[in-house]
Structure 1
Amino acid sequence: MRTVLYARVSTADQNLAHQKTQAEQAGFVIDEVVADHGVSGVSTTLRERAEGKRLYDLLRRGDTLVVRWVDRLGRNYADVTEAIREFMAKGVIVRTVINNMTFDGSTSDPIQMAVRDALIGFMAATAQAQHEATKASQRAGIEAARGDGKTYLGRKPSYDRAGLEAVTDMLGQGTAGTSEIARATGLTRQTVLRIKADPAAADAQLASWGL
């Protein structure tokens, strides 16, 4: 039985290392990392990604699939829920680093199944909603900058798109403090606090630099 980490970043210049680091800091012993670089979780399903597709052939009954959060599998509600349920049907346990959620198909109790499936649906819907909210704030920031005729970009952000997503995800879960998030993402507490105070502005700053 193996523990496989699936990692994904949506642009080729983003760093996957922090997803493995977070998993190890959470106590997971990773046997293998399967990663997709520069692939959108919105426009491509898990099966359409080169390494995502490989997961379906690689994982066997009793294996554990680890993801930082369900948004790494994708940001499309239907795709994510279908993927998790298919893995569970194969006897694969799906676990998340954030909140240490566990999904498996071993239970036959109808109440437990209903709660499990409702939680899967909620988390998948949240992943899609977060993406849509981020894109909306990004567009608003770009339009505001254009409207003001600004050319000064300010200091380049110390975080990239993946780092911003990691911080906002952990803040959204509400289970980690500022210092813990800083350690997990490799950012300073001050940076985490700025993102927490105005995530839309943090996103717009990345957009202004074309990141």
Structure 2
Amino acid sequence: MQTILYARVSTDEQTASHQATQARAAGFNIDVVVADEGVSGVSTALKDRPQGRRLFDLLRRGDVLVVRWIDRLGRNYGDVTETIREMMRRGVIVRTVINNMTFDGATTDPMQMAVRDALISFMAATAQAQAEATKEAQRAGIAHAKGRDDAYLGRRPTYDRSQLDDVVARLDAGEAVQAIAKATGLSRGTIYRIRDSRAEAEAALARWAA
């Protein structure tokens, strides 16, 4: 049995090593890291990604697949739900770093299965909704940044793209501000500002080309 971390990074500012560090800090003993870099989770299904295909070849019954959050598997509701169900059919256990969620096919109790499947559906829908909200925030942020005087950049953001994505994912997963601050190393004030105005958080990155 092996524990495999799958990391998907879609921008130059994100790194697979950052996701691996987070997983190990959360107590996971990672045997193999499989990473797709610069790949969209919205338009490209896991099975169609170069390393996604490798992941399906590597995983065996009893293996543990670790992802930072469900959105690393994809941002499309149908793709994510089918991917997790396929993993469970294969006897693979899926675990998340954020909130330490576990999905497997071990239970045969109808009620437990219904609760598990409902949770998978909710998380997959949240991943897609987050992707759509992030795109909208990015568009609004860039437009806002362009509308400002180029000579005024404001205060340089204390976070980078990877940290912003991490904070947004944790907020959407329902984590408390204090817990997010501890996990990311950012101040609670910064987390509150990101929570209250994602468009402005994106605008700050756009203004500083961060």
TM-score (norm 1): 0.90
Residue 136 of structure 2: aligned partner: 136
What amino acid maps onto 1:48 in structure 2?
D
Pairing 1:38-77 to 2, within 5 Å after superposition: 38-77=38-77
Bigger mean CA deviation after superposition, 119-128 or 158-167? 158-167
Deviations 1:131-177 (A, max 9, x none): 11111122122223444565533344332222111112222333344
Contact 2:73 2:80 in 1 (8 A): yes
In structure 2, what is the Cα distance between the partners aligned to 1:17 and 1:158?
Answer: 20
Residue 184 of structure 1: aligned partner: 183
Unaligned runs of 5+ in 1: none
In structure 2, what is the Cα distance between the partners aligned to 1:175 and 1:144?
Answer: 28
Distance 1:17 1:198, change over 3 A: same
| Partner-residue secondary structure (3-state), 1:19 | helix
| Partner-residue secondary structure (3-state), 2:44 | coil
In structure 1, what is the Cα distance between the partners aligned to 2:143 and 2:12?
Answer: 25
Residue 206 of structure 2: aligned partner: 207
Contact 2:10 2:38 in 1 (8 A): yes
Residue 27 of structure 1: aligned partner: 27
Deviations 1:81-107 (A, max 9, x none): 111111110000001111111111121
Distance 1:167 1:13, change over 3 A: closer
Is residue 117 of structure 1 aligned with residue 114 of structure 2? no
Deviations 1:7-30 (A, max 9, x none): 111013422222112211221111
Residue 82 of structure 1: aligned partner: 82
In structure 1, what is the Cα distance between the partners aligned to 2:193 and 2:124?
Answer: 27
Identity %: 66
In structure 2, what is the Cα distance between the partners aligned to 1:193 and 1:147?
Answer: 24
In structure 1, what is the Cα distance between the partners aligned to 2:136 and 2:142?
Answer: 10
TM-score (norm 2): 0.90
In structure 2, what is the Cα distance between the partners aligned to 1:191 and 1:16?
Answer: 24
Residue 126 of structure 2: aligned partner: 126
In structure 1, what is the Cα distance between the partners aligned to 2:113 and 2:20?
Answer: 30
Residue 18 of structure 1: aligned partner: 18
What amino acid maps onto 1:164 in structure 2?
L
Distance 1:12 1:146, change over 3 A: closer
CA RMSD of aligned residues (A): 2.0
